[in-house]
Amino acid sequence: MADTMKWVMNHMPKTEDKNLPIMSVEEVKKARTFHQSFPQYKETPLTKLPKMAAYFGLGSLFVKDESYRFGLNAFKVLGGSYSMAKYIAKETGKDVSELPYDVLTSDKLHDEFGTATFFTATDGNHGRGVAWAANKLRQNAVVHMPKGTTQTRLENIRKLGAKVDILDLNYDDCVRQAAKEASETPRGVIVQDTAWDGYEEIPSWIMQGYGTMAMEAAQQLNEQGIDRPTHVFVQAGVGSLAGAVVGFFSNLYKDNPPVFVVVEAEAAACLYKGAAAGDGKPRIVDGDMQTIMAGLACGEPNTISWDILKNHVKMFVAAPDWVAAQGMRMLGAPIKGDPAITSGESGAAPFGALSVLMTSDDCADVRKELGLDETANVLVFSTEGDTDPQRYKNIVWKGLDK
Ligand SMILES: Cc1ncc(COP(=O)(O)O)c(C=O)c1O
């Protein structure tokens, strides 16, 4: 019998919520305006699944499909690109609104700013976003990847001109290595998609960059006649993305926020572990964190996000690999009449968790507690497509575990 999916309701003590303004509507608007200046910019689809909603017994169900983001198959580039622009703006004494894409890539700005080296650690998607942005902005990028990363993900980064390698370290130790090298390199900058004590400015810009995706989704829901989602399901590795999404929607729907559910890979469920401990202090997961959800294999929470999540999330889920695999298969082969969505291992985790909650007899009580019924309008984030195409085929076509 496969491991069962676990969840815990959030009963952690609330704080003064000092990080919520990072994800204010005004800040996210700035990020979105920046992204809109890119020639590659196009809103990613918000796909409606009416048949699946009926099958689950929900009012409506929408999936934000990030496989279409900038041709990079994942949402992550939103954070890397915005944080690099904010950094360059700060260094050159400008506001980011003065640096749309054509200015940022101009010879004039290049002469003014020169060349920095942006360091990062990544399971794949963030590093690809940083490498892509560095390439467009004529900057250097150095990317370290944890052991277990696939060669395909490495090649995708190398193709963009970054210096990239796989280290014999887990993700969190790769982060420490990248930060150390950046501090020892002239004009070295660490652009990491997580925060820790003393390293908060760049990660907060990264989170604001992710806000573009949430802001698009809110607007697209309105266009489809939905005032606001009643429930939002989002995945977490370090929790930057979840903090961004939860923070933005908590600001946007201040008086009536949705019910937020955060889904992690069981092998790396640091937020779930912290919520289960219940005292409000973060917890860490270490070791190799074996999971097919490569993007979620991070064991140390983002300190900025943790505070936002503690104050606003209703439930934390620790999902075994089969939950993500089930999500991938159901999105790839939905009920006839609904459109198919290509969603990778980390991308499909929230949808997989929703499918378990809505179809398992053991979940009747939790469905009731969350209000997941025919009055619910549910928004789910699919944050990547088939970023590792071979693994995607193995799972979805061949029915393998990985
Ligand atoms: C596809 C995908 N989804 C979700 C996440 C989780 O984001 P975070 O680490 O900010 O929680 C990642 C992180 O790399 C990812 O690559």
Per-residue pLDDT band at 148 (split at 50, 70, 90): confident
Q: Is 49 helix (H, G, I), strand (E, B) or coil?
A: coil
One domain for residues 68 and 152:
no
69-110: pLDDT as tens digits: 999 999 999 999 999 999 999 999 999 999 999 999 999 999
Nearest to 95 by CA among 39, 27, 23: 27
Closest by alpha carbon to 307, among 362, 242, 219?
A: 242
- CATH classification at residue 103: 3.40.50.1100
DSSP track, 108-137 = HHHHHH---EEEEE-SSHHHHHHHHHHHHT
Structure tokens at 375: 């009055």
The CB of 239 under 6 Å from ligand 1? The reply is yes
Are both 128 and 21 inside the same structural domain? no
For residue 151, give Cα distances in angstroms to 232, 269, 288, 389. 33, 25, 18, 12
Q: Does residue 352 share a domain with residue 216? A: yes
- Residues 373, 261 share a domain: yes
Tokens of 192: 């990491």
Is 401 within the bounds of a domain?
no
Query: pTM of the prediction?
Result: 0.97
* Identified catalytic residue from 48, 86, 123, 172: 123
The answer to whether residue 392 scores a pLDDT higher than 60 is yes
Do residues 179 and 263 both lie within one domain? no
Domain co-membership, 64 together with 130: no
Domain shared by 222 and 265, yes or no: yes
| Ligand 1 atom closest to Cα of residue 344 | 1
Contacts 24+ apart (CB under 8 A), 158-166: 160/128, 160/131, 160/132, 160/134, 160/135, 161/131, 161/134, 161/135, 162/127, 162/130, 162/131, 162/134, 162/135, 164/127, 164/131
Q: How far apart are CA 296 and CA 239, in angstroms?
A: 9
Could you give phi then psi for residue 292, rounded to 5 degrees?
Answer: -70, -20
Identify whether 30 is a catalytic site residue: no
DSSP one-letter string for 323-392: HHHHHHHHHHS-STTSPP----TTTTHHHHHHHHHHH-GGGHHHHHHHT-STT-EEEEEE-BS-SSHHHH
Are residues 245 and 352 located together in one domain of the fold?
yes
Residue where a domain stops, chosen among 198, 215, 239: 198
Q: How far is CA 253 from the centre of its chain?
A: 20
* CA of residue 92 to ligand 1 center, whole Å: 30
Give the pLDDT band of residue 1 (cuts 50, 70, 90). very low
For residue 252, give the nearest of 48, 29, 402, 11 by alpha carbon: 29
Instruction: Report, as an integer, the average pLDDT of 236-260.
Output: 98
C-alpha span between 10 and 247 (Å, rounded): 16
Q: How confident is the model at residue 401 (pLDDT cuts 50, 70, 90)?
A: confident
123 an active-site residue? yes
* Cα–Cα dist 6/13, whole Å: 21
The confidence score (pLDDT) of residue 123 equals: 86
How much distance in Å is there from the Cα of 106 to the middle of ligand 1? 31
The mean pLDDT value for 22-35 works out to 98
User: What is the predicted pLDDT for the residue at 74?
Assistant: 96
Distance 384 CA to ligand 1 centre (A): 9
Flag whether 224 is in a domain.
yes
Q: Choose one of 198, 230, 253: the last residue of a domain.
A: 198
Indicate whether 282 pLDDT > 90: yes
Q: Count the domains in the chain.
A: 2
Q: pLDDT for 322-362, tens place per residue?
A: 999 999 999 999 999 999 999 999 999 999 999 999 999 99
Residues 282 and 210 in one domain: yes
CB-CB contact of 284 with 270 (8 Å): yes
d(CA 326, CA 320): 10
Task: Clarify whether residues 324 and 187 are in a common domain.
Answer: no
Ligand 1 lined by 65 (C-beta under 6 Å): no
- Tell me: do 229 and 354 sit in the same domain: yes
The answer to whether 264 and 316 are in contact (CB under 8 A) is yes
Q: What is the mean pLDDT of the chain?
A: 97
Q: How far is the CA of 129 from the centre of ligand 1 (A)?
A: 12
Range of the domain at 20: 6-75+202-396
pLDDT of 150 > 90? The answer is no
Q: Which of 30, 64, 76, 86 is catalytic?
A: 76
- Tell me the percentage of the chain whose pLDDT exceeds 70: 100
pLDDT in tens, 107-131: 999 999 999 999 999 988 999 999 9
Backbone Cα Rg of the chain: 20
